[in-house]
Amino acid sequence: MNRPLLVVLGAVTFAFMSVIFFWVFKLTMADSKKSDMVPPEKVAAFIQALLEANRNNYTDNVVVKLQKEGIDAHEHWRDERGVPLPAQYLMESGRLVALKNLKFSFRLASLTPIYVWNGANSDLERLGLAAVEKQPDSPHYGFLTKDGVRYFQAVYADRASSQACVDCHNKHPNSPRRDFKLNDVMGGIVITFPVGE
């Protein structure tokens, strides 16, 4: 066989093997990166656990203790002596987080909100709130795209965890529903964050 032909065959074989090696390496690295990634459902569960712990901690160690001192939690805490209701504490925390421009948000929402701005903001939220009302132990997940960014959204059931929650919603003049009982699903906690960036 002539030498130039061997050089060409060798070069083609080397190039072919290099391409194969590159793709095997790239796929291996991609699989390795995927295994290091936390699924969005798990991230949402972490966030939900943190929100629930903070809200319970606030209720038990701030609201209850201050009530014994004559300081109540109530809706008009900004204008009158008092502290935010636990639901307002969560919503105010969500507002402050949104100011950080992380494209991450959490809020309380309901199919029967006391205030219209606490209603569902999208079909995905409506579906999620309806789903957790029927199956409170199963969060509802979905994806949405807004302004060219893909987001993951989780909706967790928000239950009436105390009689104070029940009484407040049932007696509020704006409430469209007045038959809540302890442990009923009153709405949901909606957690939204970007994925795939």
Whether residue 55 is predicted with pLDDT greater than 70 in this model: the reply is: yes
Q: What does the pLDDT read at residue 48?
A: 96
Average pLDDT, the chain: 85
Mean pLDDT of 96-109: 94
CB 185 within 8 A of CB 157: yes
Q: Going by DSSP bridges, is the β-strand pair 105-109/149-159 parallel, antiparallel, or unpaired?
A: unpaired
What gap in Å lies between CA 157 and CA 110, rounded to an integer?
10
The residue among 180, 122, 192, 118 whose CA lies nearest residue 155 is 192
Mean pLDDT of 157-177: 86
Mean pLDDT of 135-154: 96
Per the structure block, which two tokens stand in for 133? 């009302």
Q: How confident is the model at residue 18 (pLDDT cuts 50, 70, 90)?
A: very low
Q: How confident is the model at residue 34 (pLDDT cuts 50, 70, 90)?
A: low
Give the count of alpha carbons within 13 A of 165, CB side only: 19
What gap in Å lies between CA 161 and CA 53, rounded to an integer?
13
Mean pLDDT of 176-193: 93
